[in-house]
Structure 1
Amino acid sequence: MASGGNPQFRYTQPPSKVIHVRNLPWECTDEELTELGSLFGKVVNTKCNVGANRNQAFIEFADQNQAIAMISYYASSAEPAQVRGKNVYLQYSNRQEIVNSKNTGDAAGNVLLVTMEGVLPDAVSIDVLHLVFSAFGYVHKIATFEKASGYQALIQFSDAETASSAKAALDGRCIPSYLLPELDGSCTLRINYSAHSVLNVKFQSHRSRDYTNPYLPLAPSAIDGSGVAQDGKKEEPESNVLLASVENMQYIVTIDALHEVFSAFGFVQKIAIFEKNSGFHALIQYPDIQTAVKAREALEGHSIYEGGYCKLHLAFSRHTDLNVRVMHHSLVMSKFGITKCTIVLGNKDFDAPGKTTCAI
């Protein structure tokens, strides 16, 4: 570290004419990087939005001495390097030049990765995305999700040519405001090619759609607060048992965590958790329908953990009384001929303290 004690600068690499910049603001531009480095010499190349969070970049100078001048200045300066008022961290790169080789985000494919800027998650529906992208060809599948980099979607076309034409026309453009009448501001599309070639869509829902398979089952998460599913089907009759589907699982969801969340609305009698179609689900039993309705209205669409993690989608189950039996893991596995049990949590009957069972 430099004598000035500036934590922005790290002597981790020998000098290079390429500087590695970290902690950049979201969607930093080439112009901003050029402006940052131009005080010290001629910037001949830049590369933005590098790394998993797309908050890193590279600046290449015409001469190594210019890069040394930049590093030396900020290593001893009391004023840190900044982009848009945000402190950024500098070090020499382990490369001597920026090579803009193709990677998975640059190689053309039939699936596009779309980042929607300026909107909250779910502010742009799958129907709007389908309307926008189907103007360029038949859209097979769409899946939307939340990541640290923002609200994103994967759009699968028939071939790379169709995807390329859509990317060329829409990258950097805004979704027409008349398609998003409730949105204040604009939604800008940033489009890259995905490494995927086929999306695995198991349910039709508000987060995923397979236009090639109209018989795909409807997910519980596709049911909105009005009681009508997105495909027009009636919601299941009300029940004292809720079916919870958990998405964006960045943390393990335990029975105790579910009990703490759902018991805020009344006495929870039983909880059963299970995995189905690679998804995490739970059944929560209340003594009466009224308590279940109250919990569903309060918790639908909310997350167990801050940051949108472990988001709940709730529907009424056809069950009215969960059969939580006392069974040892080995007995369950022997009975069903199972040699490997992948469920590690279980069920719990809160009317019978101390009794647990393996969830199959």
Structure 2
Amino acid sequence: MFLHYHEHTHCSLFGSVPHTSSCTKYSLDERIVYANILDGASNGSDSKKLRVEEAPPSRVLHIRKLPNEASETEVIALGLPFGKVTNILTLKGKNQAFLEMGTEEAAITMVNYYTTVTPHVRNVPVFIQYSNHKELKTDAGNQRTQAVLQAVSAVQSGGSPSSDVQEALAAASSPVLRIIIDNMFYPVTLDVLQQIFSKFGTVMKIITFTKNNQFQALLQFSDPVNAQQAKLALDGQNIYNSCCTLRIDFSKLVNLNVKYNNDKSRDYTRPELPAGDGQPSIDPSVAACCNAAVAAAAAAAAAGRVALAGQAGSSGVLLVSNLNEEMVTPQSLFTLFGVYGDVQRVKILYNKKDSALIQMSDTNQAQLAMSHLNGQKMYGKIIRVTLSKHQTVALPRDGLDDQGLTKDYANSPLHRFKKPGSKNFQNIFPPSATLHLSNIPQDVTEDDLRLLFSNAGGTVKAFKFFQDRKMALIQMSTVEEAIQALIDLHNYNMGGNQHLRVSFSKSTI
């Protein structure tokens, strides 16, 4: 039977040709295996079906029950979300195809995904399983096959889609992307994501959340094609220079259910949705403060890359309210807000001493501090942090004394982020009960540090030295106690002119 089949096999990517010398790259044994696989899949033989189902993982996948009118590019599109597609063999007479992925891992991911989400080509469900073959040995001389594969490869490397690949992209499975932000030095807001991704199509919904100490988002396009294009162009790119790296894959969801329009979620098709209990709605000033930066990112994204979008150059000023006016000082605000950026000036308002203006070195640092510190407890009061309309914090006029309420820190040696490439850029975390200590003198013991932090007014719950004993983790009983300890003990002189360095940690003990 298989000899008759191979006399009429279709081995061209863009059409059927008879079995000739141009298609003799398969050995006789290989042809027998292919024929047996196809016979078992299409003729209902239980024993042959079993062999197919039990095939071990392979980067070559066998696709069955394709509709008659399915194009080769639509078959390629099935594999595009999961990695590089390196080869294809279509068998139109059998409504089947073999697709070769760049790696076995990509093929496994694809099979696992389509086990839970039935793949469709032209609204017809198709079946995907591992092939018994480890690679496809098709005719390298087929110019059209090679052209479309090269076009697909170019898009996956950030190039512009050709018309053939555009057709392939149309067969993408889900309009919803899952986005993880790595190395998140600057905050990434809903508006940042919307403006970057909207260059590839209409963004309908976005939900943001934190999972495993990572900022993540689900983003739904109006069309799966747009999701495909955005993933191919943006995966692995940076939103801002050297940070905020996009890691993108497809969600198993096909529709997002958004209940509230606020700073965590947004349904752009339903502006009437409420903000939700306890959730602030989006402040237009928050989006406006970095429009220039986001516009730069969006323009770059349209070209298939996300380039320098941050550090817009203008200063960012924060308004901090509900402070404990009996306890707060410019120095305490400088130390706490300095965890998230280089504080230039601090001004406690003369006629409203429970409020202060804090000037950061740029708008991105201001947003970062706001996103992490708004709603935190400092000296027993929950502070509120918003963006100020002021562009700078003014110093007192010469000869006028504002009772030490305004301080200029522009030349402070304690700025954490002045040194380019500093490790501090990679170690910025939300306030937590666990603090990271560094620059510890060799003769300082665990008991010394426990006593020091207990005297700061908190309860030490756990302690752990790093192997070199120059660094340690110390866990306080609450986040508020950790904030207080950081304010009091960052830059504390441990003797011998060694000053303790304190920051928030993402770890627990």
Question: For the superposition of Structure 1 and Structure 2, which TM-score range results when normalised by the shorter chain?
Answer: 0.3 to 0.5
TM norm structure 2: 0.28
Structure number with the higher strand fraction is 1
**Structure number with larger C-alpha Rg:** 2
Structure number with greater CO (CA < 8 Å, separation at least 6) is 1
